[in-house]
Amino acid sequence: MIVVMRTGASERELAGVLAALAERGLTPHVSRGVERTVIGVLGPAGPSGVPGALPAITPDLGDHLEGLDGVESVLPVSKPYKLASREFHPEPTVVPVPSPTGAIAVGGQDVVMMAGPCTVESEEQLLAAARAAHASGARILRGGAYKPSTSPYGFRGMGATGLKLLARARAATGLAVVTEVMTPADVALVGEYADIFQIGARNMQNYYLLDEVGRAGKPVLLKRGLAATIEEWLLAAEYILAQGNPHVMLCERGIRTFERATRNTVDINAVPLVKQLSHLPVIVDPSQGTGKRSLVGAVALAAVAAGADGLIVEIHPHPDAALKDGAQSLALEQYAELVPRLRAVATAVGRGFETSKVTRSSTEKTTAP
Ligand code: PEP
Ligand code: MN
């Protein structure tokens, strides 16, 4: 249920509504907008133990709340996901990602770049990619230490050694780190190194893993499943939010369609649609999305034009020698050439573009190089 307060409702009126909700054991989530305040209300916990399983609204309660001072209307949430929905939380969520140079705001005014190799392969490879990412204005380094592999014979990552290399690259460049966690048992270890947990497409519906990163409290990049509908994807985000972790970023990474000429089909529709349905930031991965280096730049530009809050791009110092996903990895100089074009599109659609030249906090950054 959502309680919409009147424009200009006072703090006292808001407190009155919150008290009425508390009396009934309901959980409020207050979203303060420029125009008006909306209170998303979760019902009591059901058998799952998380608040919201049971309906919050009864006709009596709706009438009572509507009669309180400052209340404009009381409405049911029409979607099966609640915390993730725009109805529940009309203001966009800005996820603060910790980094050695200050928090990075994802989902705010600026488009944020994440770049790095698909997989951590060696210190030399990772540092070369990290330095190139940093030099071109990325704020966040990607790199898998634990890799899902379609074939059991494929490279499955360096594991804990890879995490340590990511920590070194973080210290050397000041970039934040996003890296995949594949199993609930690894969440504690990966959390010692990651600034953002990546949940891979293949694990989007691994509900125990979603619960665990929800409890861990760090920002989460939730990839869309290979064959997941937008509703299933947002319900997966709901799992993380329901554990009390509000810092979820949704990542469109292409879905499986009948088309085999590309590895996946980037659902560009999903970018503006998800931003209408949800308040969570949307990131696009044009690398997994296309599977082809020659297409990555065009799709990245399209994603920014469509309103993406950030991109996650695979880059490699020697893409043809990459142990994983070389065909879709940009060479470092290709990435450097792409970034000014992304910045131009960001400007054209009224967005800023995060640079790595932040010294203290994301609000005190210098202008783009
Ligand atoms: C990746 O980012 O390298 C990856 C494996 O992504 P996805 O889970 O989207 O396939
Ligand atoms: Mn990859």
Q: What is the pLDDT of residues 38-48, one digit of tens each?
A: 999 998 888 88
Homologous superfamily of 95-353: Aldolase class I (3.20.20.70)
Asked whether residue 67 carries a pLDDT value surpassing 80, the answer given is yes
Q: What is the pLDDT of residue 355?
A: 67
Comparing 52-56, 254-258, 318-322, the range with the smallest average pLDDT is 52-56
Residues in the chain: 369
Q: Where are the alpha helices (DSSP H) in 8-55?
A: 11-23
Q: Is the CB of 312 under 6 A from ligand 1?
A: no
What is the pLDDT of the chain when averaged over all its residues? 94
Ligand 1 proximity of 307 Cβ (cutoff 6 Å): no
Nearest by Cα to 310 from 107, 133, 144, 118 = 107
Q: If you average pLDDT over residues 117-128, what whole number do you get?
A: 98
Q: What is the tens place of the pLDDT at every residue in 298-318?
A: 999 999 999 999 999 999 999
Q: Ligand 1 pocket, 144 CB below 6 A?
A: yes
Q: How far is the CA of 363 from the centre of ligand 1 (A)?
A: 30
Q: Is the minimum distance from the CB of 224 to ligand 1 under 6 angstroms? A: no
pLDDT at 358: 40
Angle at 138 between CA 135 and CA 141, to 5 degrees: 105
- Provide the pLDDT for residue 359: 39
pLDDT of residue 132: 98
- Residues of the chain with pLDDT > 70: what percent? 96
pLDDT digit string, tens, across residues 163-197: 999 999 999 999 999 999 999 999 999 999 999 99
What's the pTM?
A: 0.94
Residue with the smallest CA separation from ligand 1 atom 3 is 118
Q: Which ligand is nearest to the CA of 147?
A: 1
Give CATH superfamily name and number for 2-75. Answer: Phospho-2-dehydro-3-deoxyheptonate aldolase; domain 1 (3.30.70.1140)
* pLDDT at site 354: 74
DSSP structure string for 232-281: HHHHHHHHHHHTT---EEEEE--B--S--SSSSB--TTHHHHHHHHBSS-
Which run of H or E residues covers position 208? Answer: helix 207-216
Kindly list the domain boundaries of the chain, sorted by start residue: 2-75, 95-353
List residues bridging with 312 in a β-sheet: 114
Distance 314 CA to ligand 2 centre (A): 7
Ligand nearest to the CA of 200: 1
Instruction: Encode pLDDT of 213-265 as tens digits.
Output: 999 999 999 999 999 999 999 999 999 999 999 999 999 999 999 999 999 99
Question: In the prediction, which pLDDT does 367 show?
Answer: 38
State the closest ligand 1 atom to the C-alpha of 199, by its place in the atom list counted from 1.
Answer: 8
- In sign, the C-alpha dihedral spanning 57, 68, 21, 246 is positive
What are the pLDDT digits (tens) for 77-121?
A: 889 999 999 999 999 999 999 999 999 999 999 999 999 999 999
Using pLDDT thresholds of 50, 70 and 90, give the confidence band for residue 346: very high
CA of 112 to the centre of ligand 2 (A): 19
Pocket test for ligand 1, best of 149, 151, 285 (most atoms within 8 A of CB): 285
The phi, psi pair for 254, rounded to 5°, reads 90, 145
Which strands make up the sheet holding 71-75, listed edge to edge?
A: 27-32, 37-42, 2-5, 71-75
- Widest CA span in the chain: 68
Nearest CA to ligand 1 atom 4: 200
Instruction: Tell the residue number behind the tokens 């991109």, with chain if given.
Output: 311
Q: Nearest Cα to 123, choosing from 138, 139, 145, 140?
A: 145
The minimum-distance atom of ligand 1 relative to the CA of 224 is 9
Q: Give the model's confidence band at 66: pLDDT under 50 very low, under 70 low, under 90 confident, else very high.
A: very high
Strands (E), 23-126: 27-32, 37-42, 71-75, 95-97, 104-106, 110-116
Give the pLDDT of residue 365.
40
Measured distance CA(356)–CA(369) in Å, rounded: 10
- Rounded to the nearest 10 degrees, the angle between the axes of helix 207-216 and helix 230-242 is 40
Mean pLDDT computed over 66-87: 95
CB-CB contact of 130 with 172 (8 Å): yes
Q: How far is the centre of ligand 1, averaged over its atoms, from the C-alpha of 179 (Å)?
A: 10
Residue located nearest, by CA, to atom 8 of ligand 1: 200
Structural tokens at position 189: 């270890």
Determine the pLDDT at residue 366.
38
- In the predicted model, is pLDDT for residue 26 greater than 80? yes
